[in-house]
Structure 1
Amino acid sequence: MFQRILLPTDGSEASSIAAEAAVSLADQFDAELHVIHVLEHDETSTDNVDSPTRYGEEAVQAAVELATSSGVEATRAVIEKRKSIHQEILTYTDEHSIDCIVMGTRGRSGLNRLLLGSVAEQTLRESPVPVMTVHEETVIDPDIGSILVPTDGSECAHTAVDHAGELARSVDATLHVIYVVETGQVINGNRVRKLREALEEIGEKALDLALDQVQSSTYLPTETSIVNGPPYIEIVRYAEEHDVDCIVMGTHGRKGIRRFLLGSVTERVIRRADVPVISVK
């Protein structure tokens, strides 16, 4: 499924966790690992031992050594920035046929680095390939045994379910598919009850569609569930309660409907989940 994985790094705690995730993923799929550091224009000096250039090289070296110790083949590169950092990441992705990017969501405090939210968000929005994100408190399981994918029946959710199903089959994992009914959209009363029932009926249809989708070829262990509450909270809670190792989410939902597949909710899940989140579109 993954043949070439890209790890942008700056040596921060978040990127160190990302390195663990990238190495584990590469090891599971016997994939090549590409480790890069993007230099700012003011980071090209190598006049002293504490220079940013040297720091970047050391960050890359640390990730490469981690890969080597796990028997993962790694390619390294320190790139001088000629355009925005996320564009450099995406250019490298295109030129080297990368099929997954793994990156942290925060970088070194006070520095405008690639692991800060703005660059991570831009990468997520524009990347043509799946992006796995982690943060400082993410727990990396070396073997993915269970995967969660939320759905709302939209085209974007269809893509996420397809990717999650393929991933689950590749690593022999159990797939969990959930639909979230957002209770905050309604108030008390009989009309509310009817609306909730209607939303749950839509959810059942969305889950049936997802189940048919992932079971269209060979059998895949799959669990489905409808949950009620704020979407990002329920997604994270479900992942915690069911010991999920990875969450797969779409970055857009149905137009005109404030659903959990919209960027704001995906972003909240990325920041709050204690497992890696793979975003697809």
Structure 2
Amino acid sequence: MYQRILLPTDGSEASATAAEAAVTLADQFDAELHVIHVLEHDQTSTDTDGINTSAGNGEEAVQVAVELAVSSSVEATRRIIEKEKSIHQEILTYTAEHSIDCIVMGIRGRSELSLSQAVLGSVAELTLRESPVPVMTVHEETVIDPDIGSVLVPTDGSECAHTAVDHAEELARSVDAKLYIIYVVEIGQVLNGDRVRRLREALEEIGEKALDLALEKVQSSTYLPTETSLLTGPPYLEIVKYAEEHDVDCIVMGTHGRKGIRRFLLGSVTERVVRRADVPVISVK
């Protein structure tokens, strides 16, 4: 399923977790691992001997990841990239030029973003929004399982969710994992009453149809162990909670890749799950 995996690294704690995840994924799929560091010219500095310390830090981060790969018998290549475009664009350019199947990146965890960070976004966020290939994100507290034995995919019945279900199914079949498909009904902050009851019933009916469609799609070829669930509550919280309660190893989610300040400020279910889940999250466009 994955033949060439890309790991962009900057030596941060989140990148160290990403290196572990990338090596584990490459080992499980017998894939090539590409490790890169994008060197920012405006952040370069030299020590008293005139040595470029920023480049040195990048080399060290790449070397640590490559050594981790070698220790797991994973074939790895390395490259330091001189920044000519934005960092995430350099990552996507490398992805296209080397036929990368999946990008693995570290991202900031549970801490809330400031307004400026929300507007600017992080390199990982920009990458997962625009990447044409799946992006696996992890943060400092992410738990990396040596083998993917269970996969969770939320659906809302949309075209984007169908793509995520397809990818989750392929992943589950590739590693002989169990597949969990969930639909979360969100009715917002409302009081109890007859209208609310009718609204809930209508939304639950939509959810059941979406789950039936996803299950039919998954089981259209050969049998795959699959469990479906209809939940109620804030979607991102229910997804994270379900993943914890069912001890899933990986979450697959769709992202629409929309741009604009409104989306940066409001965030999305996928982005919130990415920051809060204790397991790797694979975002597909």
TM (normalized to structure 2)?
Answer: 0.89
RMSD: 1.8
Tell me if structure 1 keeps the 8 A contact 2:164–2:254: yes
3-state DSSP of counterpart to 1:147? strand
Match of 1:57 in 2: 59
CA drift of 1:150 comes to: 0.2
- Where in structure 2 are there 5+ consecutive unaligned residues? 110-119, 258-265
Q: Which amino acid aligns with 1:273?
A: A
Count of residue pairs the alignment pairs up? 265
CA drift of 1:49 comes to: 6.1
Q: How does 1:147-158 map to 2 (within 5 A)?
A: 147-158=151-162
Match of 2:76 in 1: 74
1:87 to 89, 92, 99: 89
Match of 1:9 in 2: 9
Q: How does 1:113-128 map to 2 (within 5 A)?
A: 117-128=121-132
1:92-118: CA deviation from partner (whole Å, max 9, x where unpaired) = 0000000100000139xxxxxxxx952
Match of 1:242 in 2: 246
Match of 2:205 in 1: 201
3-state DSSP of counterpart to 2:268? helix
1:192-247: CA deviation from partner (whole Å, max 9, x where unpaired) = 10110111111110000000111111110000000110000000000000001000
Tell me if structure 2 keeps the 8 A contact 1:37–1:60: yes
CA drift of 1:183 comes to: 3.2
Taking structure 1 as reference, are residues 140 and 48 closer, same or farther at Cα in structure 2, changes over 3 Å only?
farther
Greater shift in the superposed pair: 82-91 or 208-217? 208-217
Tell me if structure 1 keeps the 8 A contact 2:184–2:238: yes
Q: Which amino acid aligns with 1:91?
A: T
3-state DSSP of counterpart to 1:178? strand
Tell me if structure 2 keeps the 8 A contact 1:14–1:105: yes
Taking structure 1 as reference, are residues 48 and 84 closer, same or farther at Cα in structure 2, changes over 3 Å only?
same
Following the alignment from structure 1 to structure 2, what is the Cα–Cα distance between the partners of residues 39 and 6? 16
Match of 2:167 in 1: 163
CA drift of 1:119 comes to: 1.4
CA drift of 1:187 comes to: 3.0
CA drift of 1:43 comes to: 4.8
CA drift of 1:132 comes to: 0.2
1:216 aligns with 2:220: yes
Q: Which amino acid aligns with 1:223?
A: E
2:255 to 251, 257, 268: 251
Following the alignment from structure 1 to structure 2, what is the Cα–Cα distance between the partners of residues 52 and 153? 46
CA drift of 1:265 comes to: 1.2
TM (normalized to structure 1)?
Answer: 0.91
Following the alignment from structure 1 to structure 2, what is the Cα–Cα distance between the partners of residues 263 and 241? 25
Following the alignment from structure 1 to structure 2, what is the Cα–Cα distance between the partners of residues 187 and 101? 43
CA drift of 1:42 comes to: 3.2
Match of 2:23 in 1: 23
Once superposed, which parts of structure 1, at least 4 consecutive aligned residues long, lie more than 6 Å away? Answer: none
